[in-house]
Amino acid sequence: MKNKKPLKIGVVGCGYWGPNLIRNFRQQNNCVMQICCDQDEDRLKRMKELYPEVETTKDYHELVEAGIDAVALATPVSTHYPLGMEFLKAGKHVFIEKPITRSSEEGLALIRQAKENNRILMVGHTFEYTAAVNKIKSIIDSGELGDIIYISSTRVNLGLLQNDINVIWDLAPHDISIISYLLEKNPVSVNAQGRSHYGKEHEEVAMTTMNYDNGTIAFLHTSWLDPNKIRKMVFVGSKKMLVYDDISPNEKIKIFDKGIEKPDYYDNFGEFQFSYRYGDIYIPKIDEYEALGAECGHFLDSINNNTTPRSDGWSGLRVVKIIEAANKSLRLQGLSVPVEYENEAR
């Protein structure tokens, strides 16, 4: 397709998520997964076992010296800004795992630096690259659901507590980026409530509400304390409803025909079972692929074609602004907190 020479990629952070990036960049065409960096020698040794041809280093400065074109950061949130800024200033294209930064000021600074250096800045909102979310987008865009009037998302599981951030910072970026991508709208205000139990400052459970200027409401339930892993979003439209269950292997998306009806009177307990009514249900086939591969490919394409990535810096910034507002609401006992966006954003 292209005659451009292969892009050389560096990855910083080989903990939980970094190895997935390394594996996926290795499988991209016209790309060399050249060097990875971590402060833990055991992790580097492990990477070397798995991928002997990839260079390893404990010092991220070596990535610049290695002549890479682009870097992907899979490091703790607090390092996203300093590392991202340094690589942008060194003229590298930068991919950062979500959330893009720990504050909107940091996010805005990265965006401006990328613009100044004419480099690609992309955030890892992986769900925007899944087959399921893109199927939902095409369904919503077709008008089949009508206007979206209510969204409910449940993203809960047991454990994986982060030390440096609360559950909203950890899990809600997924919901927020998905919803912003699908609705192409941003909330005007946010409420949140939660609690932290294990003697920590960071909330392990939280309920966030996003309010839109057209009356649409979205509930985001995030938790590290629930025994069952749930990844479910309900989109209620004025015409039809859609349920997206990311855990289900073969029924990820269900579309429900409207069927609100008052049941007839019933005379005994047995008939009571029949009183709720639904219309037909339709489960479209989804052509699955690994979303991270699509995301890595999109990053490379954006560099090669000098185009704005779907999940660009502004997208990352919007998510951070909403999360900041949610956290402010948390401290104000659930008070509604408005969210304002930059004029210069698309």
**Which residues, numbered 279-298, are part of the site for its own copies (CB under 8 A)?**
279-285, 288-290, 292
Identify residues 15-34 at the interface with its own copies (CB under 8 A): 15-16, 19-20, 23, 26-27
Site string for its own copies, 89-108 (x = CB under 8 A): --------------------
Identify residues 179-238 at the interface with its own copies (CB under 8 A): 189, 191, 193-195, 197, 204-205, 207, 209, 211, 215-217, 219, 221, 223-229, 234, 236, 238
Site string for its own copies, 108-147 (x = CB under 8 A): ----------------------------------------
Q: What CA–CA distances, in Å, run from 27 to 32, 66, 144, 242, 338?
A: 9, 20, 36, 34, 43
Q: Which residues contact 190 (CB under 8 A, 6 or more apart)?
A: 208, 209, 210, 211, 322, 325, 326, 329, 336, 337, 339
Q: Is 331 in the site for its own copies (CB under 8 A)?
A: no
* Nearer to its own copies (CB atom), residue 76 or residue 279: 279
The one among 5, 53, 118, 199 contacting its own copies by CB under 8 A:
53
Q: Is 256 in the site for its own copies (CB under 8 A)?
A: yes
* Nearer to its own copies (CB atom), residue 160 or residue 305: 160
Taking the complex as a whole, how short is the minimal distance between the CB of residue 123 and its own copies, in angstroms?
A: 20
Taking the complex as a whole, how short is the minimal distance between the CB of residue 90 and its own copies, in angstroms?
A: 28
* Nearer to its own copies (CB atom), residue 118 or residue 159: 159
Of how many residues is the chain composed?
346
Cβ atoms 235, 135 nearer than 8 A: no
Residue bearing tokens 């095409």: 138
- Tokens encoding 288: 């699955």
Integer Cα distance of 262 and 97 in angstroms: 48
The one among 3, 142, 199, 249 contacting its own copies by CB under 8 A:
249
Q: Is 340 in the site for its own copies (CB under 8 A)?
A: no
Taking the complex as a whole, how short is the minimal distance between the CB of residue 269 and its own copies, in angstroms?
A: 3
- Tokens encoding 172: 């809600």
Taking the complex as a whole, how short is the minimal distance between the CB of residue 158 and its own copies, in angstroms?
A: 6
| 3-state class (DSSP) for residue 48 | helix
Q: Interface with its own copies by CB under 8 A: which range of 60-68, 85-93, 306-314, 333-341?
A: 333-341
- Tokens encoding 23: 């594996």
Question: Quick check: bond before 99 cis, omega within 30?
Answer: yes
| 3-state class (DSSP) for residue 96 | strand
Furthest-apart CA pair in the chain: how many Å? 80
Q: Which residues pair with 312 in a beta bridge?
A: 122
Q: Which residues contact 162 (CB under 8 A, 6 or more apart)?
A: 169, 170, 202
Q: Is 278 in the site for its own copies (CB under 8 A)?
A: yes
Q: In what helix (H) or strand (E) does residue 35 lie, and over which residues does it extend?
A: strand 31-37
